[in-house]
Amino acid sequence: LVNLAVEDDGKGIASEAAFRAMANVGPGDKALAPAFVKLLDHKNGHVQYVAMEKCGLLRSKEALPKMIKGLKSIDKNANGKDAEWRIRGLIVGLGKYGKDGLPELLKLYKGTSDDIVRRFALGTIQAIDDKESLPQFMEIVRNKNEDLKIKSVAIQMVGKLGAKENMPELMEIYKGEKNDVAQYNLIEAVGNSKSETAIPFLQEILSKDLDESNRAGAAHALEKVGGPKAIQILEDALKK
């Protein structure tokens, strides 16, 4: 399949069919993980992308440190399609590791002063789509001494993966949060719950908070919650 995939520079019918076949590999195909690990060093960027994506999907323990190393030593001067495929592969693949990859990504972010690597590490964390990682993200949100960028991303991820079940704690954390960026992200995360029980919390911010961004965030959050009560509050706010 790999040989077919790279024929005609990946532009032929056989090549397209081969890539489609590799894309059909699912989470249950654990026995194929070693084959994809071998492809991590393939010279073709598209093949590397598929290998990284599948290693993440299959949660290959052997591939994880190699991919973290690849993100850490990313070539900032590389360009062209192959380089683009590799970068996308690292982000998508590591994102699929979910809770298993998050500690390594956090370690990478905090252990480097390279702004490009830090940016890609954050982008990869944002690509995580695994509800099992929620407890890890909530631990970050609770930490008052956490790096602001990491904390902001963690709040966004809680809003994305589990806003409803964590909404009461998010509202409580908001009360003690002093940073305006984190406050805004908490408001947005509460809005993602789309729960009417969030309405009094959001209404108070909309009517009493002195920060204009927070008020705008509360209005947006109420819009996401929706329903007659939220709409009425927004209409009343417009009349003032």
pLDDT band at 8 (very low <50, low <70, confident <90, very high): low
Q: In whole angstroms, what is the distance from residue 18 CA to residue 7 CA?
A: 10
What is the 3-state secondary structure of 29-90? CHHHHHHHHHHHHCCCHHHHHHHHHHHHHCCCCCHHHHHHHHHHCCCCCCCCHHHHHHHHHH
pLDDT at 35 over 60: yes
pLDDT at 6 over 70: no
Q: Is residue 198 a contact partner of residue 165, using CB atoms and an 8 Å limit? A: no
pLDDT above 90: percentage of residues in the chain: 69
- Across the range 78-97, mean pLDDT stands at 87
Average pLDDT, the chain: 90
**Global pTM?**
0.83
pLDDT at 69 over 80: yes
Q: Please write the tens of the pLDDT for every residue from 140-189.
A: 999 999 999 999 999 999 999 988 999 999 999 999 999 999 999 999 99
- Across the range 65-82, mean pLDDT stands at 81
pLDDT of residue 12: 63
Q: Is residue 53 a contact partner of residue 19, using CB atoms and an 8 Å limit? A: no
Going by C-alpha positions, the residue among 60, 17, 24 that lies closest to residue 39 is 60
